[in-house]
Every structure is written in structure tokens, then in C-alpha cells.
Amino acid sequence: MNLKELAELIKAEVITSDRDLSEITVPFVSACDLMSDVLAFCSPGSLLLTGLTNIQIVRTAQMLDLPAVVFVRGKIPLEETVNLAKESGIPVLLSKYSLYEVCGRLYAAGVKPSYVPQPREA
Amino acid sequence: MAAPVCMEYRIEGNNFMVAGTASNNIKNTLKMLGIQSDVCRRAAVIAYEAEINLVIHANGGILKAVISEDKLEISTEDEGPGIPDIDQAMTEGYTTASNQAREMGFGAGMGLPNIKRNSDLFEIESTPGVGTKLISTVFFNK
Ligand SMILES: Nc1ncnc2c1ncn2[C@@H]1O[C@H](COP(=O)(O)OP(=O)(O)OP(=O)(O)O)[C@@H](O)[C@H]1O
Ligand SMILES: [Mg+2]
């Protein structure tokens, strides 16, 4: 699914984007508020859904080259968060739905979850 | 690649506004040098987790990256409180992160295990009251 279709599904408002969202494909989604878990378990190319709105969310997305970030529950991101997103060219989407409902809508539409690796043998 | 590329950053303690900037520079340099993308990704995770630990646990420190022909070495050195029990600190889920750090999305107790998982070689050395040293190595052709 591309980001434009995805935004419509979750009735998201798109801020910070000078890019054509229909050209960004989203193969996987990861929903998480723990950044270390994102760093550990997020498949390359995953869209990040989160209820946190601080600057380190975008920093994490930037470190992993994630295609975009969705802030849920109608949360408004902090100014520095938006600035870093603009600077690094990461689209930010705002959805009024809860994390659960955003996940449900995307899952029902067939978007795959981020791969969770099995623990490595010691 | 002829001479190794060295990058060194002084990381400020408890400054969340700039935390991650150094790691992002390291990642971008690796990309510019044409290093394989899976190595860049592992390096990004290692550097960022190590940098954040300097910010939230050690009151700052030094983050270094040395890129040579066959490998990348990411290391940190700090004069923070140190880690009394390394095995405990390496356990997934163990954390002493402050509320402030948790509010920022850290404190899952996953950082050090993440670093180790992404490293080919991993060393950590710590003395309570003196500080902590960490060295992570990633080989390019592995
Ligand atoms: N440089 C350091 N100086 C002092 N203590 C440290 C340092 N790095 C890690 N620790 C200790 O080891 C614990 C585990 O670190 P780890 O990075 O695995 O998890 P965390 O930082 O608490 O949470 P997360 O990394 O998931 O955000 C920390 O909570 C802290 O007590
Ligand atoms: Mg950590």
C-alpha cells in the first residue's frame, strides 16, 4: 500500500511533506512507544505508529530510514519534532484514531506487521 | 579505502534535543562511503543506542567511530556512575532509566542487548565511580 492510500484509511492529516505520498510504499507497520524495541524489531521500510510525540521518535525513524511516522490519538507533535522531520524529509501523519484502531484499520486492509525476529541461540 | 576514517563526538548528558545527531552523522558517512546497507543499519542501531546511553545514564561522554578497510569500530567512553553488575545490565528488560528518559521512549532495557546482537565483537568494561567503556565491531564481509 502507498502512503497516500494509507493516510486516507486512517483519516490522517499529513504535515511536513513536500513529497508525493503515493510514491512511498509501506510494506510493514510497527506500532510501538519503546524506541529500543523499534530499533530491535522494526523491519526495514516499516511505518512507525506511536503515541509519543517527542523529537527522539523522528530521530529513531531517521536512524532506521523509516518511510514515515504516524502520531495517533490526535496528538500534536512538539515543534522540534516537526522541524527534524522536515529537515530529514520524513513525512509525519496525524490520526485522531487510537493506536488500536489505526492498527486494526491497517491490518484489515492487509498491511503486514513488522517482522519480529526469534531470539538468537546463546 | 586507504587510511581509516575516524569520527569523534563529545556527547552532552541529558540533552535530548541533540541526542542522536552524532549517530546520524556516522550513519550518513557510512552510506557516503558506499558501505552495504545492512551494515549501515546495524551501525546506526549500535551508535544510536550507545549515544543514548551516554545521554541518559552517563552524563555524557565520547562517541567514536573508526571505519577501516574490513571493519567498523564504534566505541564510547564516559566518566559516568559506571555499571555495578554488567550481566544484570545486559539482561533484556533491566533498566535504571529516569522518568524523563522513559517519557522520551527509552528505558526498555533493550539498548545493550541490541548493541550486542548487532555486533560481531562486543566488549564492555565498567568501574563504578569511574566510568564505562564500550567497543563494538562490525565486519564488512560477514
Ligand atoms: N554508559 C553507561 N553508564 C552507566 N550505566 C549504564 C550505561 N549504559 C548502560 N547503563 C546501565 O545499564 C542499564 C541497561 O542499559 P540498556 O541500554 O540495555 O537499557 P536502558 O538504556 O535502560 O533502556 P533502553 O536502552 O531500552 O532505552 C541501564 O539502565 C543503566 O543502568
Ligand atoms: Mg539504553
The 10s digit of each residue's pLDDT in A14-28 is 997 678 999 999 999
* Domain assignment present for A108: yes
Over range B11-39, report the average pLDDT: 96
B78 close to A (CB below 8 A): no
In a domain, residue A14? The reply is yes
Bridge partners for A14 per DSSP: A93
Residue B131 CA: which ligand 1 atom is closest? 3
Number of structural domains chain A divides into: 1
Structural domain contains residue A119 = no
pLDDT at residue B110 is higher than 60: yes
Note whether residue A31 is domain-resident: yes
Full residue range of the structural domain in which residue A75 is found: 3-113
Residue A52 lies in a domain: yes
Helices A55-63 and A79-87: crossing angle in degrees, nearest 10, is 20
For residue B8, the CA-to-ligand 1 centroid distance in Å is 21
- Which CATH number covers residue A53? 3.40.1390.20
Nearest Cα to Cα of residue B119 among A42, A59, A28, A120? A120
Chain B CB contacts of A62 under 8 Å are: 20, 24
What pLDDT sits at residue B117? 96
Q: What is the mean pLDDT of residues B61-72?
A: 97
Do B104 and A54 lie within an 8 Å CB cutoff?
A: yes
Q: Which residues of chain A have pLDDT under 50?
A: 122
The yes/no answer to whether this complex scores an ipTM above 0.90 is: yes
**DSSP structure string for B108-135:** SS-HHHHHHHH-SEEEEEEETTTEEEEE
User: In 3D, which of B73, B74, B76 has the Cα closest to residue B55?
Assistant: B76
Residue A43 lies in a domain: yes
Mean pLDDT of chain B: 96
d(CA A55, CA A87): 12
In a domain, A120, yes or no: no
What number is the average pLDDT over the span B7-23?
97
- Per-residue model confidence (pLDDT) at position A120: 57
pLDDT at A117: 65
pLDDT given for residue A18 in this prediction: 77
Q: Does B109 touch chain A (CB under 8 A)?
A: yes
Ligand 1 neighbourhood includes B20 CB (under 6 angstroms)? no
Residue A122 lies in a domain: no
Of B20, B27, B45, the CB nearest to A56: B20
pLDDT-derived band of residue B27, with 50, 70 and 90 as boundaries?
very high
Share of chain B above pLDDT 70, in %: 98
Residue in A with minimal Cα distance to B111: A36
- Atom 22 of ligand 1 has which residue's CA nearest to it? B95
Contact criterion met (CB below 8 Å) for B119 and A42: no
d(CA A70, CA B53): 26
B99 pLDDT tier (thresholds 50, 70, 90): very high
